Amino acid sequence: MSTTTWTTEGVAPGQRFEFWREERAKAVFGVQIEVDRDRRDAFEGHFTARQVGEATIVDLRASAYHLRRDDRDIADAPADAFCILQQMRGGGLFGAGGREYVGGPGAMAVGYSDRPYYNVPGDQPAFHSRAIKLPFARAAPLLNADRDLSMRLMIPNVGAPALLAAYATAFVDQAPGLSADGAEIAVDTLVRLALLAWTETDEREPENVAAIQRGRLSQAHTLIEHRIADPALSPTLVASALSISLRQLNLLFEASGTSFTAHVRRRRLNRAHQMLLTSPWLTITEIAYATGFDSMATFYRGFRAEYDCTPAEVRQERR
């Protein structure tokens, strides 16, 4: 996995914005950006791009600025990419395809890179956004010929947008460990979930059904991570949160080669193992209960089965 990184750190304050303006345009795709002159000396920015199979994951953290990509920029720097944009922090006014949207943290935009759009920041000093660029050739065969390809903002709280947000987050988190085959499946899933969120394709098509299942599994994993310390975490709780039946939830995990109970137990043990190494001020009992175990006997038995040693032995090795 190749990675490109650049930052304004080490650049003289009076030159940071000009450096960022030039590098930002080249690194992602051609855009025009602007900041009030009295804010340029304090400008800061950090950029990372990772290539994962056919996908490029771009992470941008910077002082707030106005952004525009117009027909001239597109002609000068065509990208031919299908994009999934996630606003992690900050927000503002977003315009594309003759429509304007107001979005904040958590908002997403999906669409074709080579259509005009603009962004006016809200009242915040900085922002953090993420983009996943996919080859447009992967999406084009699935699109209607008369489709408006302009970026569209969406709030991923329910339905296909929520599935897309969960899967995109999991893809970014797991990217370093993905095999070539895993990256290929992930790219296909991202494209299909994005088009479903765009209401462009039929969710009953077999390939889309499979993509939806992978998106729901990512949602389940996210919920589990958020509730991992809760002894009351159960299949019923997660199935209810996802608005699916208990049987559907069990089938999601079975298709991935495990079960809900086995996945939760392993994630709790993994977290406990990490805490044994990084939190020496906590006792073993405190770690067991902090990771959702309600019985020390269950914790010790599971830990030995997973790591072929005891928690105390892990602590001793660290010393």
User: How far, in whole angstroms, is CA 65 from its chain's centroid?
Assistant: 23
Per-residue model confidence (pLDDT) at position 25: 62
Determine how many CB atoms are found less than 10 A away from the CB of residue 215. Answer: 25
pLDDT per position in the chain (319 positions), as tens? Answer: 688 898 999 899 889 998 888 877 666 678 899 998 888 888 999 999 999 999 999 999 999 999 999 999 999 899 999 999 999 999 999 999 999 999 899 999 999 999 999 999 988 899 999 999 999 999 988 887 778 899 999 988 888 899 999 999 999 998 888 899 999 999 999 999 999 888 767 778 888 899 999 999 999 999 999 999 999 999 999 999 999 999 999 999 999 899 999 999 999 999 999 999 999 999 999 999 999 999 999 999 999 999 999 999 998 876 6
DSSP letters along 75-125, please? HHS---EEEEEEEEE--EEEEETTEEEEE-TT-EEEEETTS-EEEEE-S-S
DSSP summary character for residue 69? E
pLDDT at residue number 286: 96
Structure-derived torsion over alpha carbons of residues 20, 21, 27, 31, reported in degrees to the nearest 10:
150
In the chain, the domains with their CATH numbers are 263-318 (1.10.10)
Report yes or no: 60 and 29 within 8 Å, Cβ to Cβ: no
Identify the pLDDT of residue 204.
Answer: 81
In this prediction, residue 130 carries a pLDDT of: 95
Q: How far apart are CA 86 and CA 84, in angstroms?
A: 7
pTM for this model (two decimals): 0.84
Return the residue matching tokens 């900085």: 126
**Which residues have a Cβ under 8 Å from the Cβ of 4 and sit 6 or more positions away?**
27, 47, 48, 49, 50
